[in-house]
Amino acid sequence: MLGRINHIAIAVPNLTAAAMPYKNLGAAVSDPHPLPEHGVTVVFVTLENTKVELLEPLGENSPIAGFLEKNPAGGMHHVCYEVPDILAARDRAVALGLRVLGDGTPKIGAHGKPVLFLHPKDFSGTLTELEQI
Ligand SMILES: CC[C@H](C(=O)O)C(=O)SCCNC(=O)CCNC(=O)[C@H](O)C(C)(C)COP(=O)(O)OP(=O)(O)OC[C@H]1O[C@@H](n2cnc3c(N)ncnc32)[C@H](O)[C@@H]1OP(=O)(O)O
Ligand SMILES: [Co+2]
């Protein structure tokens, strides 16, 4: 069911500053992409085998605001795994008693694909995202 790691996400207070070391180390760093429907602005660092997703809060009710209050310098926010069928993955997670965040309806993520989030408490304190490829 779980495929490749699509990205590792890091919540940051300032995208420009956070992107600098990746740029200086020669990585491919995208421009900022505002995602108002997700309450974040995203920068992607594209690597050979996965991506790093840098997240900055956007708007009043950003879902990462609470995280940054607890971690003002930023920190690892979530891991995203690829799945072939997001609805089948959701239904299997629910059947296993794993908590799906929101109302369980996939949203379109930063790559234009359906995504869902599973509660960090069910994954040893790691917020887990599923993205349909
Ligand atoms: C989809 C676009 C893009 C993409 O990849 O395409 C993205 O990934 S956007 C990413 C931003 N969106 C989300 O993160 C949506 C899912 N997240 C949420 O719904 C919230 O962040 C939530 C519910 C996980 C936490 O919200 P909040 O911090 O406001 O709630 P609590 O303070 O009640 O937290 C409950 C409990 O969880 C711990 N927590 C919170 N965030 C994380 C985290 N990232 N990793 C690990 N643990 C986390 C928090 O400390 C609380 O723990 P407790 O022991 O009860 O204090
Ligand atoms: Co993500």
Q: Which of 117, 121, 128, 132 to mutate to test the pocket of ligand 1 (most atoms within 8 A of CB)?
A: 117
pLDDT per residue over 59-117, tens digit each? 999 999 999 999 999 999 999 999 999 999 999 999 999 999 999 999 999 999 999 99
Mean pLDDT of the chain: 97
User: How far is it, in rounded angstroms, from Cα 133 to Cα 113?
Assistant: 7
> Any residues with CB less than 8 A from the CB of 105 and at least 6 apart, and which?
none
Does the annotation mark 129 as catalytic? yes
pLDDT tier at 51, thresholds 50, 70, 90: very high
Residue among 100, 102, 105 nearest 120 (CA): 100
Q: Whose CA is nearest to atom 37 of ligand 1?
A: 120
User: Model pTM greater than 0.95?
Assistant: yes
pLDDT at 4: 97
User: How far is it, in rounded angstroms, from Cα 62 to Cα 68?
Assistant: 10
pLDDT tier at 121, thresholds 50, 70, 90: very high
pLDDT tier at 3, thresholds 50, 70, 90: very high
> What atom in ligand 1 is closest to the CA of residue 53?
5
User: How far is it, in rounded angstroms, from Cα 71 to Cα 23?
Assistant: 23
Three-class SS of residue 123?
Answer: coil
User: How far is it, in rounded angstroms, from Cα 46 to Cα 76?
Assistant: 17
> Any residues with CB less than 8 A from the CB of 114 and at least 6 apart, and which?
86, 106, 107, 108, 131, 132
